[in-house]
Amino acid sequence: MVAVLRGAASLGLKKLRVGMIPADGVGREVLPAAQRILEALGPSIPKPEFTHLDAGWEYFTRHGVALPEETADALQNDCDCALFGAVGSPTHRVTGYSSPIVALRKKLSLYANVRPVHSIEGLDPRPVDMVIVRENTECLYIKQETSSHSEENGREARATRLITERASKQIGRMAFRIALSRAKPDHPASLTIVHKSNVLQLTDGLFRECVRSVMKENEEWSDGSKIAVGEQIVDSMVYRMFREPEAFDVVVAPNLYGDILSDAAAALVGSLGLVPSVNAGDTFVMGEPVHGTAPDIAGLGIVNPIAAIRSAGLMLHHLGYIEPAQKVEDAVVSVLKEGVRTRDLGGNASTEEVVAAIEKRL
């Protein structure tokens, strides 16, 4: 799947303390589904102990804060890992509000968003098997914006984009580790660096240069027999990704490009409701489905829970519980092949029916 980042499995934990942050919309439906699947794994993982925590837009509207200190403190001090549901954000400026998921990525040093996107044999006509590794803390997402007025242009708005050597090398190392884990004896993995340095020569140029520079830190990364390194300008990357997705293996990108590419890539395999992700650092990992709050179907019992369930499996994988993570993936694939699918996949199964079918196979 992807590289193991933290060897919790080697620590002999008697229980696995999981922070649960459902947040907004369908997050309150898909996180209980993921919890049930973790519980269904039985003794193959340490007994999960769930701590339910608050955050999100709806919490902000009631309490004036989107990420309570208690939630951040609990994750840092009382949890081994976490699952995040979905967060709503207003499209206009609201004084005092900022996204709690962005804040958590910074507080917990979750510098990488890792999103595997792969098709299911027999269901999808095109072979897709890629991992998008997105830098998670910088770029335009530092949210430093200003507005002003000029006689020439009228109202003006500016956003600061930050790319640093430290963060670019950090995400580069993550991407190379993941690529190395996917290399085969008879076929090297490929790593594609996405940028727009033909226009943004300083910021994207720095990102490109730093990711390439980490090749020299490890002989297995640099000799070319295990990892073939290439580049794509971001607009041509989008074109090629839809035209020939089989050409890509591991893709590494700055925050904004990675966000757009990973959401778009979900269309290649049928639905955002299928695609998992983890926000990962060197000492903590937080699973997060990528589908958003889906307010139009929240509370109807028809949301696809598979992205959340797969995110829980991906979280286990990053913690070192490889076999239980694979059991989750195998159960999901089996259920999909048997035709138990929610409406976004052309089926008519309810959330409960999908969860129960996966539970049964575990």
CA angle, corner 251, sides to 246 and 252, nearest 5?
Answer: 175
pLDDT digits (tens, 9 = 90+) for 120-164: 877 777 889 999 999 999 999 888 888 899 888 899 999 999 999
In the three-class reduction of DSSP (H, G, I as helix; E, B as strand; rest coil), residue 254 is classed as coil
Shared domain for 135 and 254, answered yes or no, is yes
User: If you search the block for the tokens 């900022």, which residue do you land on?
Assistant: 98
Shared domain for 257 and 148, answered yes or no, is yes
265-304: string of b/e by CB count within 10 Å (b at 16+)? bbebbbbbbbbbbbbbbeebbbbbbbbbbbeebbeeebbb
Residue 4 pLDDT class (50, 70, 90 cuts): low
For the chain, the straight-line distance linking the first and the last C-alpha, in angstroms and rounded, comes to: 19
Shared domain for 98 and 29, answered yes or no, is yes
pLDDT higher at 154 or 92:
154
Residue 264 pLDDT class (50, 70, 90 cuts): very high
Q: Are the CB atoms for 163 and 203 separated by under 8 Å?
A: yes
Shared domain for 256 and 137, answered yes or no, is yes
Measured CA to CA in angstroms, residue 224 lies from 187, 190, 240 at distances of 11, 10, 23
Q: Is position 20 within any domain?
A: yes
Shared domain for 302 and 346, answered yes or no, is yes
User: Residue range 7-25: average pLDDT?
Assistant: 83
Q: Is position 340 within any domain?
A: yes
Alpha-carbon distance of 239 to 283, in angstroms, equals: 36
Torsion of the alpha carbons at 108, 196, 238 and 337, rounded to the nearest 10? -20
Token reading at 88: 């709503």
Q: Is position 200 within any domain?
A: yes
Domain boundary among 269, 286, 308: 269
pLDDT digits (tens, 9 = 90+) for 303-362: 999 999 999 999 999 999 999 999 999 999 999 999 999 999 999 999 999 999 999 999
Cβ contacts of 281 within 8 Å, gap of 6 or more: 5, 108, 109, 110, 111, 112
Q: Are the CB atoms for 52 and 20 separated by under 8 Å?
A: yes
Q: Is position 119 within any domain?
A: no
Domain at 246, CATH number:
3.40.718.10
Shared domain for 324 and 252, answered yes or no, is no
Shared domain for 70 and 164, answered yes or no, is no
Give the predicted TM-score (pTM) of the model: 0.92
Within 54-187, where are the H helices?
Answer: 57-63, 69-78, 100-107, 165-182
Shared domain for 217 and 341, answered yes or no, is no
User: Residue range 162-172: average pLDDT?
Assistant: 97
Shared domain for 237 and 358, answered yes or no, is no
Token reading at 197: 């340095």
Q: Is position 26 within any domain?
A: yes
16 pairs with which residues across the strands?
48
Shared domain for 66 and 51, answered yes or no, is yes
Domain boundary among 232, 247, 269: 269
In the three-class reduction of DSSP (H, G, I as helix; E, B as strand; rest coil), residue 227 is classed as strand
Shared domain for 86 and 212, answered yes or no, is no
- Number of structural domains in the chain: 2
Shared domain for 244 and 164, answered yes or no, is yes
Range of the domain at 348: 1-114+273-362
Domain boundary among 269, 288, 318: 269
Q: Are the CB atoms for 83 and 311 separated by under 8 Å?
A: yes
Q: What is the pLDDT of residue 8?
A: 58
Q: Is position 120 within any domain?
A: no
